[in-house]
Structure 1
Amino acid sequence: MVSLTSRFSKLNPGNLLTAKSKVDHEKVPLDSLKSSPLPRWSASPSRKGRFHMPRLTFTRLLFYLVLTFMCATLLFGGFWRHGQTLFIERRPRGPFRWQRYPRLNGFYNGIRTLVPYNEFVSEQSFKDRFIGPDSPPLPSSIPTLNKIDPSDPPPLDPAPYIPYPDYESAEYLKDNQPVQKCYLDPQNTLEAPDIYAYPGLPQNMTEPFFGSHQLLGFTKKNCFDRFGRLAPYGYGYPPELGGFGLADNSEKNGVVEKLWSQMGSPIDWRGIDWGKAQKRCYERNKIRFSKDAVMPDGSKAAPNKKMSTRQAFILRAWTGYDYSPWQIMSLRAMISELSIKSGGEYDVHLLVHVKDNNIPIWASDEVYETTLRANVPEEFWGIASLWSEKQMETIYPGPFEWNIENDSKQPIHGVYRGAHLPLQVFAHEHPEYDFFWNWEMDLRFTGHNYELNQGIINWAKDQPRKGLWERSAKYYIPRKHGSWRDFRDLVEKEIEDSGEKPIWGPVNFENSGMLDHPLESSPPHSYEHDNYEWGVGEEADLLTFNPLFDPLKTNWVFRNDVTGYNLSLPPPPRRTSIITVSRLSRKLLEYAHEEEFRMRHHMFPEMWPPTVAFHHGFKAAYVPHPIFFDREWPLNVLDNTFNFPPTPSESVFGFGEHNHEGSTFYYNSGFSSALWRRWLGSKENNEGGAAEEKEGSGRLCLMPALLHPIKHERSD
């Protein structure tokens, strides 16, 4: 599977117009608050020697005139084709405005600065309240580095972090089927481990600018260091005990005597078969998911209690992928936390792209198994499914006609333009699942996976449909917008002032053939008569992790990659969410499959599921998960830049995408991977690392954060 990072950077037409000016957080040292906030740029090498003007003859002059005319014609014709001029489409050159903003450093306050949440003051709030000529004296609870003794242990102790319901409580059993505990081994002796968190935050930790922990119902009052988060899955204990080591040179003050004593004996992960472990877990709990299921002892589901949904959590891998220790620990965490400890609510799968189309994985079980075992670690063999582009050609044979614009010049069935095809096929072949999470291998989460997923699901179920598409087109900035209710009312006012018709149910447009809309997509009453009622309690069919925007209001390069809609009619309206990470319902994927297979409709992967949901009136929402920035953006500038670009050329989903580089979640973010490696104890841009942690405030302890992309986990 081709990463979004590489393909977008290569295809951005702005790169053809101006010199490359993106900031690379992997290479450019970050500047301190006291130094210039501009990145360092290398000077151009001086030119040696002299240019000699060639003798100008009539033939040479004619040649130059013809060449100049041809180049001008090509340039003018290319930009006239897009209906815009060179000066309008020019990508802005760095250094960019946001690079001049003061750097935020609260991320790097270590565990020796921990305070209980009721004493916590964020870095942004601290600056607002205590920096200035008329500032009050600093509160005594604010620790300063010159008061920290490197030999002191953390002021708070780590504790098991358990976000699951109490499955044995009377309150849970009143409405739900009983949950049977699952184990890692066939003998039912080895339990999946707990992870550990510190019950507080480093004082002056930086807060997210976008999204909210509280809104999604997961913790903001605890932080996770690398030991508490990853030690249960092999970090910090040696290979002879079944771990990876990796912590020999790490700052580990307070770990041995507190964390390891609570964890007990480390788990030897050698020999774990995750496929069989997940299957055993489901079999022990199948009456939770089907009224027709029967247990070996003859027991069935209680008729008066709720049934739970089954969800597939799918990670998109490919042949030749390098499964680093960090990736393996991340996979173990996902399976343990989502599947084993939840009583089988999830199954984690690897959907592996076989890049060589000459390998006939569809024709021979032996070839299939040989390919799988050569490309996936043994513990994950039982959760992996292979696919190839050649298979997609047979399942979706076409013809796919009436393409508006194929900017990438790639085939429809390739992973580049058809990444959603194997997901649709997987859903069609796995009717046991109600929902499918489409996840990427370069995502990392510093918190607990189950808490993240359940918080998102519960939030989305509570969302009314009224104004949902419009709210989902924007970033929620709590310090600017106030409460979620305030944000909802603000967006509703914008809808009224715009004079545009709000999105309400299926979108009808002139076409030459579409599937019928599902009956449940029809609104029960008019938009004006809805009091934020329709949709409350309804599961969302599509959940995305970046806004669901109208690509025609941007200059996103793939906005016109639309196929199968009659070119004699106006192009269909559409929606997009950058990065294909999402949760999709079975209903949505089946509709997308039928639109693709039966109607021969197709769009670029980031545009296809949102547009199918948009056309057919499915419930869809952008999840306002916490996103951090490495610079202190003025809130008005942040809101205007990301939510109100004055022209399509300035949209952050196009030539303005550089504005995401200092964030923790976007396809081109550089700060996300730099922050992740600092959290792992690595040195980045001549900062951090074991020595600095030992002599300073200790290792990093972060709030839960979804980080993307993690390009690599090697330290400097």
Structure 2
Amino acid sequence: MSSRFNLNPRKLFIRTRFNYEKLPGVESQAASPPYGAKSWKNRPMWANRLQRPRMSFARVVMLAITSVLILSMVGTGVYQRRVRTEQQRKGEERKQYHWEHYPRLRGFFNGVRMIVSPNDWVAEQDFVKYSQSENPEDNIKPKQPHWSKENKEPPLDPLPFNPYPDFDSAEYQKQYEKVETCTLDAEGKIDPPDIYAYPGIPQNMSLPFFGSYEELNMNEKVCFERFGRFGPYGYSYPEAEGGLGLDGKSEKHGADKIWRTENKIDYRNVDWGSAQKRCFEKNKVRFREHKTEKREEAAPAKKKLPRHAYILRTWTGYKYSNYQMLTIRAMINELALKSGGEYDVHFLLHVKDDSLPIWSSEEIYQKTIEDNLPKEFWGMATLWSEQQMRMYYPEPFGNNVYNHAKAPVHSVYRSAHFAMQWFSQVHPEYDFYWNWEMDLRLTGHYYEFNNNIGEWAKRQPRKGIWERASRYYIPELHGSYKNFTEMVEEEIYSSDEKPVWGPPQFDNSGMLPSPPETEPPRPYLQDNYEWGVGEDADLITFNPIFDPAKTNWVFRDDVSGYDLELPEPPRRCAIITVSRLSKRLLDIMHRETFLMKHHMFPEMWPPSVAFHHGLKAVYAPHAVYFDHNWPLEAIDGTFNHPPKPTDSVFGWGEHNQLGNSFYYNAGFSSELWRRWLGSREYDQGGTEEEETGSGRLCMRSTLFHPVKYEKGPE
């Protein structure tokens, strides 16, 4: 029987918290029976009869009525279940959301045999629009998808994908220090692998509704399929050769072409932690100095680069699938080794057992790592626990407005940021810290994606930056990002709200001083989008940064440490904690927590601290796909201009996010990712369909969340 019928009498009338985001590892605990069990088997039957109270006529009637009611309820339940079963059998569906009435998009599922040059490509939305148009002035020719059933080879060959600067060029070395090549082994014999992309796009591949490859300066003229993306990391060769052998049942026409130039690597003895350390030591002259003393330089200094900590938030008991191994290998290789040490990948491993003495025993510390991480990543882990955070950020955290989660302040559910703050204090050698979750997946190249987002954020002016960050960018409706910027400016002028310009002024019971450089150099109207250009962003999020007070987002009032006699402080929030945080922001977050005892829910805390102290924060407009063809005005009105707070897509309107590729509850993300891996989903896709159709999926660079499990061809 389903667990929903295992009723606990003590919980029948207790209001439980809203299940906004179930954290991995949270397990339900069965309560003890409310009454102690007694054995009556040794009691004589005559004693039972003697002690049984005599029932009055009224009691008999009440018992009869109660029995009838219970039987009626049981019968009704059985009938209703039968009706529901019959309805399902007859194909009767639940009431659909409004967006489910829009036509389905299918261009994501066009495969490698339909790849065309970017000049010949027509997006699915344009194909539908113009093929149905009666306007003779429409100058886009609809192009039907086609492929040859006889020739199953892709029409183009995959090529190495290289998004890095030309490290060996005279132009690069004139500005920066020389990049020393890194290897996977200590002997310097195993070079980091390349990944491969097809130089085209499947005809009628769907367009993303949110975000822009062009704006982020990402290569939008190529697509990635599973062999070129993960083959070099062991996907497509057997375990006996050091791979993972996941391609046995896959459609694979043309896949072997990557081995013309690529070497297969035996990953059984790779130590990624040691490889990262060697890479940094060879290239440390390239990076910014974090020590207080100044280094004497004989020659004029060249530009120094920032360093990044790429932090994977994991926990004891987490199971690493073979597909996850491919993803992590790709991260380390593409971010750390191929870049010459610009990134270090870390596992920030949550030890859920607070009684485990990891801080008093090196042996236990190491055993915990070895029991909870694959061997090739042992040298990359940092352990933490909630008990440690209780000591590092001791109570009290008073004056809580409303703890909707009904959880302790130090629980990871309410204070996942504590561990990030602590990590930044233990590892002050980095300029930026990426908060990365284990259920994220990327079809594209990690260095291109992360580096280009950081460079885009650096180019953004501060004028209107918070207002732009609160909206989804829809290129097909808003045009260029410059046009989008001007549109947001017009909306600011037309509203009654004062634009954000430096740290906001609000009544509070004590705030740390903001950095002096966050004060605007000139009045808002006198700034010509100049302030902030060339300044690294302190916070980069992957969903809009909204004002939770204007929504019914469930955790908007989880605020502690502020004077309850005063209005709640202004707040900002970005759903999903995935983000890039600067050392400056994390330092302020740490001091606000430790010194001022200020606290907010994890998705609200970094944006709110950045907002209070006038730091630079942006929402990166990465590509987000939808499974239905929304009218542009409808998607803009729903996501950017909801008619009332209860309609916000960051509250009760979150069902609008179900059909996209990136949100905390997005359902389409997992389906599309597994289809890309070759899985059959909802009786569609899979090996047979790929073999008889257009081949395996080939997609442009896309970030997926959440992906709770992975499955390939079967």
TM-score w.r.t. the length of structure 1 is 0.85
**Gapped runs of 5+ residues in structure 1?**
1-9, 16-53, 65-92
Question: Per the alignment, in what secondary structure is the counterpart of residue 342 of structure 1?
Answer: coil
What is aligned with 1:175? 175
Change over 3 Å in CA distance of 1:106–1:401 after alignment to 2: same
What is aligned with 2:251? 251
Q: What aligned pairs does 1:30-429 form with structure 2 within 5 A after superposition? A: 94-132=95-133, 142=143, 144-145=145-146, 147-256=147-256, 258-263=257-262, 265-290=263-288, 303-429=300-426
Contact 1:291 1:301 (C-alpha < 8 Å) held by counterparts: no
Report how far residue 185 of structure 1 moved. Answer: 0.5
Question: Per the alignment, in what secondary structure is the counterpart of residue 214 of structure 1?
Answer: coil
What is aligned with 2:41? none
Alignment partners' CA distance in 2, 1:398 and 1:533: 43
What is aligned with 2:30? none
**Residue 446 of structure 1 pairs with residue 424 of structure 2:** no
Contact 1:398 1:597 (C-alpha < 8 Å) held by counterparts: no
Change over 3 Å in CA distance of 1:299–1:400 after alignment to 2: closer
Report how far residue 410 of structure 1 moved. Answer: 0.6
Report how far residue 141 of structure 1 moved. Answer: 9.1
Change over 3 Å in CA distance of 1:113–1:136 after alignment to 2: farther
Contact 1:288 1:301 (C-alpha < 8 Å) held by counterparts: no
Q: What aligned pairs does 1:550-565 form with structure 2 within 5 A after superposition? A: 550-565=547-562
Change over 3 Å in CA distance of 1:391–1:629 after alignment to 2: same
Change over 3 Å in CA distance of 1:447–1:571 after alignment to 2: same
Report how far residue 599 of structure 1 moved. Answer: 0.3
What is aligned with 1:513? 510
What is aligned with 2:584? 587
Report how far residue 711 of structure 1 moved. Answer: 1.1
Report how far residue 585 of structure 1 moved. Answer: 0.3
Report how far residue 499 of structure 1 moved. Answer: 2.2
Contact 1:121 1:203 (C-alpha < 8 Å) held by counterparts: yes
Alignment partners' CA distance in 2, 1:345 and 1:262: 26
Contact 1:472 1:622 (C-alpha < 8 Å) held by counterparts: yes
Residues 345-364 of structure 1: CA distance to partner in whole angstroms, max 9, x if unpaired?
00000000011111111111
Residues 507-536 of structure 1: CA distance to partner in whole angstroms, max 9, x if unpaired?
121111110111011000110110000000
**Residue 524 of structure 1 pairs with residue 521 of structure 2:** yes
What is aligned with 1:660? 657
Alignment partners' CA distance in 2, 1:536 and 1:148: 50
Question: Per the alignment, in what secondary structure is the counterpart of residue 215 of structure 2?
Answer: helix
Structure of larger gyration radius: 2
What is aligned with 2:54? none
Contact 1:150 1:695 (C-alpha < 8 Å) held by counterparts: no
Question: Per the alignment, in what secondary structure is the counterpart of residue 628 of structure 2?
Answer: coil
Question: Per the alignment, in what secondary structure is the counterpart of residue 368 of structure 1?
Answer: helix
Question: Per the alignment, in what secondary structure is the counterpart of residue 341 of structure 2?
Answer: coil
Aligned amino acid, residue 289 of structure 1: F
Change over 3 Å in CA distance of 1:138–1:599 after alignment to 2: closer
Residues 641-662 of structure 1: CA distance to partner in whole angstroms, max 9, x if unpaired?
0001111111000110010110
Aligned amino acid, residue 704 of structure 2: L
Contact 2:145 2:203 (C-alpha < 8 Å) held by counterparts: no
Question: Per the alignment, in what secondary structure is the counterpart of residue 215 of structure 1?
Answer: coil
Question: Per the alignment, in what secondary structure is the counterpart of residue 353 of structure 2?
Answer: coil
Aligned length: 632
Report how far residue 255 of structure 1 moved. Answer: 1.5
Alignment partners' CA distance in 1, 2:523 and 2:140: 54
Contact 2:559 2:599 (C-alpha < 8 Å) held by counterparts: yes
TM-score w.r.t. the length of structure 2 is 0.85
Alignment partners' CA distance in 2, 1:689 and 1:14: 32
What is aligned with 2:50? none
Aligned amino acid, residue 350 of structure 2: H
Report how far residue 290 of structure 1 moved. Answer: 4.1
Alignment partners' CA distance in 2, 1:129 and 1:667: 34
Alignment partners' CA distance in 2, 1:292 and 1:592: 20
Aligned amino acid, residue 173 of structure 1: Q
What is aligned with 2:4? none
Aligned amino acid, residue 376 of structure 2: E
Aligned amino acid, residue 624 of structure 1: P
What is aligned with 2:8? none
Contact 2:122 2:142 (C-alpha < 8 Å) held by counterparts: no
Report how far residue 458 of structure 1 moved. Answer: 0.9
Question: Per the alignment, in what secondary structure is the counterpart of residue 252 of structure 1?
Answer: coil
Report how far residue 178 of structure 1 moved. Answer: 1.0
Residues 316-362 of structure 1: CA distance to partner in whole angstroms, max 9, x if unpaired?
00000010011111000000000000000000000000111111111
Change over 3 Å in CA distance of 1:162–1:301 after alignment to 2: farther
**Percentage of pairs with the same residue:** 56
Aligned amino acid, residue 450 of structure 1: Y
**Gapped runs of 5+ residues in structure 2?**
1-15, 22-58, 70-93
